[in-house]
Amino acid sequence: MSTGTLLAIIIPIVVVLALIAVAVSLLNRRRHLRERFGPEYERTVEGAESRRAGERELKAREKRHDSLDIKPLPAVSRDRYTREWSSVQQEFVDRPEDAVHDADRLVTSLMHERGYPTGGFEQQAADLSVEHGRTLEHYRAAHEVEALSTSSKATTEQLRGAMVHYRALFDELLSDGGRAQPARS
């Protein structure tokens, strides 16, 4: 066989193999993001101008999260937060709107002590999405009701639902979500 014939066979094979490698790489990245972010993957991709832009956003969240010093809570802090949550739940009986506001403050305080920045809801949600994507929808729903209750537009049933939603995220943050970041040197 001549050199030209060999090149005519080898070059297309190399191109096809390169395309397969790129496709596998993209599929692996997509699978990784879906597994890590759970339902937040679809929410972010749907809200972005393209799948690629949504995935870039999720990768940026991962990078930001990796730079944070997220730490597990000491036992004494977990006990204190558990007691505070019990107080908030008891408050719900007589003052449901106040209890929802206090639940929001307690979750924010817990996030802060764990090492999450707590400057604003959207950034909090983005930071939480990396490790807590499966419970993030609870936080979004609770926050929405909390905003309604600020203007006294939330029903008692909505307030009760918000407490349940806050509790889901609270429990996961309190137990480290099963994934505390290793200590850094």
* Each residue's pLDDT tens digit, 137-154: 999 999 999 999 988 899
How many angstroms separate the most distant Cα atoms in the chain? 90
- Tokens (6 digits) for 65: 């999260």
pLDDT digits (tens, 9 = 90+) for 2-48: 888 888 889 999 999 999 998 888 888 889 888 888 888 988 999 99
The verdict on pTM exceeding 0.85 is: no
126-162: burial string, b at 16+ Cβ within 10 Å, e else: bbbbbbbbebbbbbebbbebbebbeeeebeeebbbbb
Q: Render pLDDT for 113-136 as a digit per residue (tens, 0 to 9).
A: 999 999 889 999 999 999 998 889
Distance CA 126, CA 123 (A): 5
Whole-angstrom Cα distance, residue 75 to residue 69? 18
Show the CA angle centred on residue 100, arms to residues 115 and 98, nearest 5°.
Answer: 120
How confident is the model at residue 178, as a pLDDT? Answer: 41
String of DSSP letters for 84-116: HHHHHHHHHHH-HHHHHHHHHHHHHHHHHHHT-
The first and second tokens of residue 117, run together, are: 């920045």
Residue-level pLDDT at 77: 94
Rounded to an integer, what distance in angstroms lies between the CA atom of residue 88 and that of residue 26?
Answer: 46
What's the CA gap between 55 and 34, in Å, rounded?
10
